[in-house]
């Protein structure tokens, strides 16, 4: 410490004892130079960190500057800074629009269904994979269910349209075997949500199961052996060991999922919906796309996007708090 | 706009066969060539290629060199944004080139031109562009149509030539097989479609025929014209139309109600492709080549080409038929080639050579310039025979002619030019020509709504209401066709809801813009 | 008969045989330790007894019943794992109750059983804690508690102490021994640590390379190793082994002759390995001793004793000597004396003991 430089009589012994450190400190102990030393010593770590920081700055923080157009009458030519402020007008436009309200409702409904059926699906799948003992069979099955994830939405939509086609689709063919009339599923509002959510599960459950499989793989195998010796059957092991062991992973994934509740897979909706099914299919993103972007209303689109983000933020905070309180697991 | 160095000029000069500035009557600048930067975007040619033979020839004739500085690309195909993506990117980038050419440029320049991004062209045309001026004097409605809300013109459009776009097509060999005449009325058309459905014209023993199909489902709605309804006022779907100086929307009219009611009946009876809303762009290809499709409403040029299927399907003949007479006896072909497209080019607001640029634009409206834009380079792509430009045979044989022309820099819709329909006739097939002749016999075409340019207030009203109204209209429209609801029962509620959504306000701003633009 | 009997037990993974036909009888209440270097097959053998590995060939009998095809839970064995295998999401009481609940034992009975066992193990105050909040020794006790509550016929221990530090290990070793004395349950214990084996076992089974080298009480094995492997494995430091040739009166190692009687008759010239335990030498000549000249390298004091690292001919050897409180006098040692009766001889080729029962 600096004081050590002019030792008071009483502190003489202490300073002598501290000599090696004190001497060093006397010359270098300022916050800046310590930081300098720190960076000099650990610079490799910061270099490795740099790309992530840059990514965040460039792709997440800088665009936040543009969020202000939600409160402006934005013109691309005038730019973000020079467009005039108009307050909450875009939000008034949004909330006075029945179709926007309907889109918000649809988004929440589809997301809720997704959460209800789509969230457990990869967990169940992972548990099922875990029970497969035959290695080749397991690998083959996993590969097959992972595949749809790697197919572009356009092709997925094509497959769905074909499968549910009233004339040639497999679904209606099967319905036909029971002597029933074909159903033109994709134009019936009441069928959109089941088909959409089902498609989502088919496409993503397999790939989503990877994280849970990894969590299961991380469970200490002797827990199972111990349970075997104790007399547990596979079902009991799944409920009493596997699921409790991967519960933290499940909760984290759930929180993340809740944070994405306003993000319904936009491309797939665009590809599958029709005016005839807007009633159930139109979600915030598609509404914004049609109203905002197709007619160049970036400011309105930004307002809707901001609304989405705020809702998602509140939801994820709530979920995180609840999870921390009840299970000691949380994202942060 | 840098002046080329002498050495570079010599280099360019030596690359061209004819001596530079040999015949100077089209020359715009003296001495060193003038370089102008250009952004040009279209889904089919994402950048302006400086070595296109047409550009090279234009350089030789005008002594103006276009330099490509295109940013972005309009590679997406969705109706609006996809075609102006690159424009938005360019504007957001802050650099506006001397010349900007694009598909869907009209709304863009009309919005940003008054803000200063593009130069108004009226005075420039009057003073420096005799050919353009002469054109607009003969076609005042074109001039009116491209004007922005402030009364200025901000772009020179691509002006399509020729009248016909889509037509009714029917399997005439099936008609013959079933002993039917070509339908002349809506009742006969319905009877023919029903016969296709029930009498197994493809002879495979199954009732798998699809009597009426369409690549774009709004072509089903087009059929409401058979009940005196309207489906669109222009070549854009769901557009407003002008009825005796009054703007209306087709989906709010009585004829539309009648048409939808009957189309719903047709759909229920299986006369219309059950998958009309989901089959998509491959519908025509699939249904015709599988010997299933009976009739459609589609483009002359591309649809006539399917007659080559006769080599695979015995007797296959898919011919254009005149529009059947509606219930009141009117024969209407609602779709036609619109005389003016929202595509073309404009002068950037920071252009330091506006006069030279407008002269350059004018060049493409001279006889030589127009021929260059339509046919390519003489001697290379076409020859002059009896005063007419005739494509060389090897050029016609080199694959799709449209594509070949794009590849040499001709027929670019990002360029303001006046199309010459003769270019197309030379490679249209006999069935298309026969169909066009058939349509020429009657007077089936109706006037088109060429669009309006809003001022800021009008734009705000339009933006606020129109999207929701359109969504609602389409939602109900498909619902009625599919049998989710009955148009007769729902009609009053429908009208009330349109009113509530603000259709009257939208029509009012359309009307005020229209009156301002076309002089009421 | 009660206890555990292994006869001709073989384990093969595909074409690779890792346990080559083991025969072993474990008597009721006996504490048997399987010891050997890693990879010798001792854990595999234990897991076969537990039922965690299938038995490729041979017979496994527990309490007179053939167990080869019996499910682990029906073998009436309890196992303690190396890393304790405690369920991290359950507290101590629930961990111990796990097996009992699976077996549908009445709740009240579970509670009293756990209370009793917790008392024995000194875990009564920790029943509500989760494993993450326990020390290593406590976790180890919970793992044992989980086995004890089951009242099995056989305890199986798979290196249960190897995750503990040295001090705790000594302590837990004693606890295990006391527990066994108290409960009197047949136990089979796997370890690679020969000290654990010596201290815990009623009988030790030394395994190497998938086969049993020798079975016997700790002292039998220490005093009469059946071969060079056992001789080298048990004892710390291990027995010194030197190549030599038998003579008329003893054996010659290099130029040095060690004298002993009663064995070499008529076998002079045979190649042997001479084994001398480090603790058997003396620094002063006595009766029936032979002198071994050594070059001293290093003296390692251990307190009352010291280790002498030295070279003898071409061999590195280690001997133990009393320090008597000081190591100064050890620095000048030039030879040690080997008492003839304690010398071990092994066949140079097979490694088998030649004078096994002296």
Domain coordinates of chain B in residue numbers?
6-161+341-420, 165-335+424-520
* Calpha distance B249→B224 (Å, rounded): 14
Min Cα distance A226 → chain C (Å) is 7
A159 contact C CB<8A: no
Task: Output the CA torsion sign for C66, C69, C73, C74.
Answer: negative
C94 phi/psi in degrees, rounded to 5: -70, -35
SS3 state at C212: strand
Cβ neighbours for C24, distance < 8 A, ≥ 6 positions apart: C4, C5, C6, C32, C205, C212, C215
Question: In sequence order, what E strands does A95-209 have?
Answer: none
C173, C198, C229 - which closes a domain: C229
Please tell me which of the candidates C51, C79, C89 has its beta carbon nearest to residue A226. C79
Across residues C16-40, what is the average pLDDT?
Answer: 92
* Calpha distance A289→B519 (Å, rounded): 35
Provide the residue range defining the domain that includes C205.
Answer: 4-229
- For B101, other C-beta atoms within 10 Å of its C-beta total 27
**pLDDT of A26 over the 60 cut:** no
Q: Tell me: do C128 and C85 sit in the same domain.
A: yes
Domain count of chain C? Answer: 2
Q: Do A230 and C89 touch (CB under 8 A)?
A: no
CATH of domain A88-327: 1.10.3720.10
Please tell me which of the candidates A229, A231, A241 has its beta carbon nearest to residue C87. A241
Q: Tell me: do C203 and C337 sit in the same domain.
A: no
Question: Left, alpha or beta for B498 (phi > 0: left; psi -120 to 50: alpha)?
Answer: alpha
* Calpha distance B119→B98 (Å, rounded): 10
- The strand pair at C186-191 and C31-35 is best described as parallel
A241 contact C CB<8A: yes
- For B285, other C-beta atoms within 10 Å of its C-beta total 12
Same topology for domains B6-161+341-420 and B165-335+424-520, yes or no?
yes
Q: Tell me: do C16 and C74 sit in the same domain.
A: yes
Which of A81, A187, A195, A303 to substitute to test the interface with B, most B CBs within 10 Å? A187
Residues of C in contact with A243 (CB under 8 A): none
**pLDDT of A231 over the 90 cut:** no
**pLDDT of A1 over the 60 cut:** no
Nearest to B167 by CA among B292, B325, B273, B322: B322
C touches B, CB cut-off 8 Å, minimum 3 pairs:
no
**pLDDT of B378 over the 80 cut:** yes
- For A93, other C-beta atoms within 10 Å of its C-beta total 19
A223 contact C CB<8A: yes
Instruction: Report if residue C358 sits inside a domain.
Output: no
Using 50, 70 and 90 to split pLDDT, how confident is the model at B46?
A: confident
* Calpha distance B119→B347 (Å, rounded): 6
Cβ neighbours for B87, distance < 8 A, ≥ 6 positions apart: B39, B41, B72, B74, B100, B102, B104, B105, B108
Structure-derived torsion over alpha carbons of residues B428, B433, B436, B440, reported in degrees to the nearest 10:
130
**pLDDT of B94 over the 90 cut:** no
Tens digits of per-residue pLDDT, B331-362?
A: 999 999 888 998 999 999 999 999 999 999 99
- For B202, other C-beta atoms within 10 Å of its C-beta total 19
Residues of A in contact with C83 (CB under 8 A): 220, 222
Using 50, 70 and 90 to split pLDDT, how confident is the model at A316?
A: confident
b/e burial code for range A285-296 (CB count within 10 A of at least 16 → b): bbbbbbbbbbbb
B touches A, CB cut-off 8 Å, minimum 3 pairs:
yes
Q: Do C98 and A220 touch (CB under 8 A)?
A: no
Residues of A in contact with C79 (CB under 8 A): 225-226, 229
Instruction: Report if residue C287 sits inside a domain.
Output: yes
Question: In sequence order, what E strands does B134-226 have?
Answer: 156-157, 166-171, 210-212
Q: Which helix (H) or strand (E) holds A137?
A: helix A135-146
Contact between B63 and B29 under an 8 Å Cβ cutoff? The reply is: yes
The pLDDT of residue C2 is: 61
Q: Which two tokens stand for residue A192?
A: 């959109």
Using 50, 70 and 90 to split pLDDT, how confident is the model at A22?
A: very low
Q: Do C77 and A229 touch (CB under 8 A)?
A: yes
Contact between A226 and C81 under an 8 Å Cβ cutoff? The reply is: yes
Q: Which two tokens stand for residue C204?
A: 């030790």
Q: Tell me: do C162 and C268 sit in the same domain.
A: no
Which of C46, C52, C80 to substitute to test the interface with A, most A CBs within 10 Å? C52
* Calpha distance B126→B130 (Å, rounded): 7
The pLDDT of residue B8 is: 44
Across residues C310-332, what is the average pLDDT?
Answer: 86
Nearest to A203 by CA among A257, A169, A159, A162: A159
Task: Output the CA torsion sign for B114, B117, B118, B123.
Answer: positive
Ordered by start, the domain boundaries in chain A are 2-75, 88-327
Tens digits of per-residue pLDDT, A72-85?
A: 988 888 888 888 99
More confident residue, B167 or C254: B167
**pLDDT of C61 over the 50 cut:** yes
| Cα within 13 Å of Cα(B430), Cβ side | 3
Q: What is the DSSP letter of C340?
A: G
Q: What percentage of chain B has pLDDT greater than the value 70?
A: 93
Q: Tell me: do C268 and C216 sit in the same domain.
A: no
**pLDDT of C251 over the 50 cut:** yes
Contact between B401 and B366 under an 8 Å Cβ cutoff? The reply is: no
* Calpha distance B273→A167 (Å, rounded): 9
C229, C264, C291 - which closes a domain: C229
Contact between B240 and B233 under an 8 Å Cβ cutoff? The reply is: yes
The pLDDT of residue B78 is: 53
Instruction: Report if residue C356 sits inside a domain.
Output: no
**pLDDT of B191 over the 90 cut:** yes
The pLDDT of residue B12 is: 42
Q: Note if the bond before C237 is cis, omega within 30 degrees.
A: yes
More confident residue, B515 or A3: B515
**pLDDT of A24 over the 80 cut:** no
Across residues B307-318, what is the average pLDDT?
Answer: 92
Tens digits of per-residue pLDDT, C209-238?
A: 999 999 999 999 998 999 999 999 988 889
Instruction: Report if residue C355 sits inside a domain.
Output: no
Q: Which two tokens stand for residue C324?
A: 């008597």
Q: What percentage of chain A has pLDDT greater than the value 70?
A: 90
ipTM score here?
0.79
Nearest to B304 by CA among B201, B165, B442, B488: B165
Q: Tell me: do C169 and C24 sit in the same domain.
A: yes
Q: Tell me: do C217 and C241 sit in the same domain.
A: no
Across residues C57-68, what is the average pLDDT?
Answer: 92
Q: Do C52 and A229 touch (CB under 8 A)?
A: yes
B22 phi/psi in degrees, rounded to 5: -60, -50
CATH number at C280 reads 2.40.50.140
Superfamily name with CATH number, domain B165-335+424-520 = Periplasmic binding protein-like II (3.40.190.10)
Please tell me which of the candidates B80, B274, B467 has its beta carbon nearest to residue A184. B274
Q: What is the pTM of this model?
A: 0.73
Instruction: Report if residue C354 sits inside a domain.
Output: no
Return mean pLDDT, chain B: 89
More confident residue, A303 or B15: A303
Topology (CATH level 3) of domain B6-161+341-420? D-Maltodextrin-Binding Protein; domain 2 (3.40.190)
Min Cα distance B112 → chain A (Å) is 7
Task: Output the CA torsion sign for A272, A273, A279, A283.
Answer: positive
Helices (H), B39-102: 53-62, 81-93
Tens digits of per-residue pLDDT, C94-142?
A: 999 998 998 889 999 999 999 999 998 889 999 999 998 998 889 989 9
Q: Tell me: do C220 and C257 sit in the same domain.
A: no
- For B41, other C-beta atoms within 10 Å of its C-beta total 28
The pLDDT of residue A17 is: 42
Across residues B284-292, what is the average pLDDT?
Answer: 93
């Amino acid at each position: 410490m600096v004081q050590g430089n002019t030792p008071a009589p009483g502190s003489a012994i202490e300073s002598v004892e501290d000599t090696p450190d004190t001497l060093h400190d006397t010359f270098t102990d300022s916050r800046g130079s310590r930081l300098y030393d720190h960076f000099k010593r650990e610079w490799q770590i910061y270099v490795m960190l740099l790309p992530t920081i840059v990514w965040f700055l460039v792709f997440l923080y800088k665009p936040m500057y543009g969020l202000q157009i939600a409160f402006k009458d934005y013109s691309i030519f005038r730019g973000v800074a020079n467009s005039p402020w108009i307050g909450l007008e875009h939000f008034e436009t949004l909330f006075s629009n029945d179709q926007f309200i309907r889109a918000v409702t649809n988004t929440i409904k589809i997301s809720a269904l997704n959460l209800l059926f789509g969230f457990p699906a990869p967990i169940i799948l992972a548990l099922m994979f875990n029970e497969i003992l035959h290695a080749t069979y397991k690998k083959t099955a996993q590969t097959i269910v992972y595949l749809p994830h790697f197919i572009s939405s356009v092709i997925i939509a094509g497959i769905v349209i074909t499968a549910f086609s009233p004339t040639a689709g497999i679904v209606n063919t099967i319905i036909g075997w029971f002597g029933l009339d074909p159903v033109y599923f994709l134009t019936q509002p009441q069928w959109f949500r089941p088909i959409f959510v089902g498609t989502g599960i088919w496409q993503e459950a397999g790939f989503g199961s990877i994280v849970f499989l990894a969590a299961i793989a991380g469970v200490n195998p002797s827990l199972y052996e111990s349970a075997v010796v104790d007399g547990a059957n596979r079902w009991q092991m799944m409920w009493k060991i596997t699921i409790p062991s991967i519960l933290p992973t499940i909760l984290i994934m759930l929180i993340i999922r809740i944070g994405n509740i306003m993000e319904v897979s936009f491309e797939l909706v665009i590809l599958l919906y029709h005016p005839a099914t807007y009633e159930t299919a139109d979600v915030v993103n598609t509404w914004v796309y049609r109203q905002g972007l197709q007619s160049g209303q970036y400011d309105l689109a930004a307002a809707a996007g901001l609304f989405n983000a705020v809702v998602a933020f509140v939801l994820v905070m709530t979920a995180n708090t609840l999870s921390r309180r009840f299970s000691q697991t949380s994202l942060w | 706009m840098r002046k080329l160095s002498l050495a570079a000029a010599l280099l360019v000069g030596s690359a061209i066969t004819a001596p530079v500035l040999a015949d100077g009557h089209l020359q715009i600048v003296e001495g060193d060539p003038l370089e102008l930067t250009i952004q040009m975007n279209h889904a089919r040619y994402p950048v302006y290629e400086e070595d296109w033979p047409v550009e090279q020839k234009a350089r030789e004739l005008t002594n103006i060199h276009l330099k490509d500085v295109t940013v972005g690309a309009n590679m997406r195909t969705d109706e609006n944004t996809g075609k102006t993506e690159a424009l938005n990117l360019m504007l957001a980038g802050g650099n506006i080139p001397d010349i900007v050419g694009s598909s869907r440029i009209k709304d863009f320049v009309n919005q940003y031109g008054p803000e200063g991004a593009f130069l108004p062209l009226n005075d420039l045309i009057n003073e420096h562009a005799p050919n353009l001026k002469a054109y607009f004097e003969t076609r005042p409605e074109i001039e009116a149509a491209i004007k922005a809300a402030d009364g200025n013109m901000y772009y020179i459009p691509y002006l399509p030539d020729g009248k016909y776009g889509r037509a009714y097509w029917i399997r005439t060999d099936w008609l013959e097989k079933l002993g039917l005449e070509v339908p002349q009325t809506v009742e006969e058309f319905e009877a023919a479609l029903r016969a296709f459905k029930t009498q197994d014209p493809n002879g495979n023993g199954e009732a798998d025929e699809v009597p009426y199909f369409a690549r774009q489902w709004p072509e089903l709605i087009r059929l409401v014209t058979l009940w005196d309804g309207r489906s669109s006022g222009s070549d854009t779907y769901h557009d407003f139309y002008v009825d005796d100086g009054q703007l209306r929307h087709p989906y709010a009219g009585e004829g539309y109600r009648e048409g939808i009611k009957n189309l719903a009946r047709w759909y229920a009876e299986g006369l219309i492709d059950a998958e009309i809303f989901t089959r998509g762009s491959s519908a025509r290809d699939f249904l015709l080549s599988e010997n299933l499709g009976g009739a459609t409403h589609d483009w002359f040029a591309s649809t006539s080409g399917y007659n080559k299927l006769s080599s695979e399907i015995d007797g296959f003949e898919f011919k254009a038929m005149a529009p059947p007479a509606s219930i009141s006896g009117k024969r209407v072909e609602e779709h036609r080639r619109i005389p003016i497209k929202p595509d073309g080019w404009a002068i950037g607001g920071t252009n330091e050579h506006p006069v030279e640029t407008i002269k350059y634009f004018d060049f493409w409206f001279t006889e030589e310039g127009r021929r260059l834009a339509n046919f390519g380079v003489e001697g290379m792509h076409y020859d002059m025979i009896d005063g007419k430009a005739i494509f060389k045979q090897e050029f016609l044989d080199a694959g799709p002619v449209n594509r070949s022309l794009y590849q040499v820099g001709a027929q670019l819709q990002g360029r303001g030019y006046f199309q010459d329909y003769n270019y197309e006739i030379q490679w249209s097939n006999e069935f298309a020509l026969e169909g066009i002749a058939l349509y020429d016999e009657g007077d089936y075409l109706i006037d088109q709504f060429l669009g309006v340019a809003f001022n800021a207030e009008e734009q705000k009203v339009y933006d606020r209401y129109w999207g929701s109204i359109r969504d609602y209209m389409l939602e109900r429209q498909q619902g009625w066709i599919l049998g989710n609801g009955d148009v007769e029962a729902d009609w009053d509620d429908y009208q009330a809801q349109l009113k509530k959504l603000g259709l009257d306000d939208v029509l009012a701003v359309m009307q005020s813009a229209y009156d301002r633009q076309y002089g009421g | 008969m009660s206890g555990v009997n292994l006869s001709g037990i073989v384990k093969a993974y595909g074409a690779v045989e890792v346990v080559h036909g083991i025969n072993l009888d474990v008597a009721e209440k006996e504490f048997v330790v399987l010891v050997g270097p890693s990879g010798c097959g001792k854990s595999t053998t234990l897991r076969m007894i537990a039922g965690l590995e299938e038995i490729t060939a041979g017979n496994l009998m527990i309490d007179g019943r053939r167990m080869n095809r019996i499910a682990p839970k029906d073998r009436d064995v309890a196992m303690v794992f190396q890393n304790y295998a405690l369920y991290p999401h359950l507290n101590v009481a629930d961990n111990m109750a796990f097996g009992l609940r699976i077996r549908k034992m009445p709740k009240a009975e579970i509670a009293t059983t756990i209370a009793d066992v917790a008392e024995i193990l000194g875990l009564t105050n920790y029943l509500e804690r989760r494993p993450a909040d326990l020390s290593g020794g406590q976790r180890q006790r919970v793992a044992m508690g989980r086995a004890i509550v089951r009242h099995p016929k056989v305890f199986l221990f798979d290196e249960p102490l190897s995750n503990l530090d040295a001090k705790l290990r000594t302590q837990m070793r004693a606890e295990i021994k006391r527990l066994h004395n108290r409960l009197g349950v047949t136990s089979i214990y796997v370890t690679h640590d020969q000290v654990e084996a010596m201290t815990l076992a009623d009988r030790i089974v030394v395994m190497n390379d998938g086969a049993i080298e020798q079975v016997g009480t700790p002292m039998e094995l220490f005093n009469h190793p059946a071969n060079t492997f056992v001789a080298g494995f048990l004892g710390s430091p291990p027995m010194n082994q030197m190549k030599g040739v038998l003579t008329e009166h003893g054996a010659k190692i290099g130029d040095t002759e060690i004298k002993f009687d009663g064995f070499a008759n008529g076998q002079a010239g045979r190649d042997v390995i001479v084994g001398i335990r480090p603790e058997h030498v003396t620094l002063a000549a006595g009766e029936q001793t032979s002198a071994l000249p050594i070059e001293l390298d290093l003296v390692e004091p251990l307190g009352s004793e010291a280790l002498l690292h030295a070279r003898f001919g071409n061999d590195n050897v280690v001997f133990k000597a009393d320090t008597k409180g000081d190591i100064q006098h050890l620095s000048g040692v030039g030879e040690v004396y080997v008492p003839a009766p304690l010398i071990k001889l092994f066949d140079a080729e097979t490694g088998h003991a030649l004078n096994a029962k002296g």
